[in-house]
Amino acid sequence: MEKFDLNDADVQLDTAGLNCPMPLLKAKQALNKMLPGTTLLVKATDPGSVRDFKSFVDLSSNKLLGNFAEKEEYYYLILKGN
């Protein structure tokens, strides 16, 4: 997916340095506190997070608006669903 502006998210979460499954668990905790229709930006360094976040949004009401990798960092922009 294409790169997006990192300042576009309502909430930002930095999980750099955390290994699987922590980036996804921290993102789930953040999403649980958010209102539907708001966006969460997650920064991760775990390459396994690519698979984890894709599976998560496929199985939830949340939507992955974009993701990209840059210098061994992975970014995900998630729209909170109902």
Alpha-carbon span 25 to 7, nearest angstrom: 22
> Tell me, which fold does domain 11-79 have in CATH?
Translation Initiation Factor IF3 (3.30.110)
Buried b or exposed e, range 20-33, using 16+ CB within 10 angstroms: eeebbebbeebbee
Which structure tokens are listed for 72?
Answer: 């061994």
From 11, 20, 22, 50, active-site residue: 20
In contact, 46 and 17? CB cutoff 8 Å: no
pLDDT per residue, tens digit, the chain (82 aa), is 567 888 889 999 999 999 999 999 999 999 999 999 999 999 999 999 999 999 999 999 999 999 999 999 999 999 999 9
Is 20 known to be catalytic?
A: yes
Whether 43 and 30 have beta carbons less than 8 Å apart is answered as: no
Counting every residue written for the chain, the total comes to 82
Q: What does the domain layout of the chain look like in residue ranges?
A: 11-79
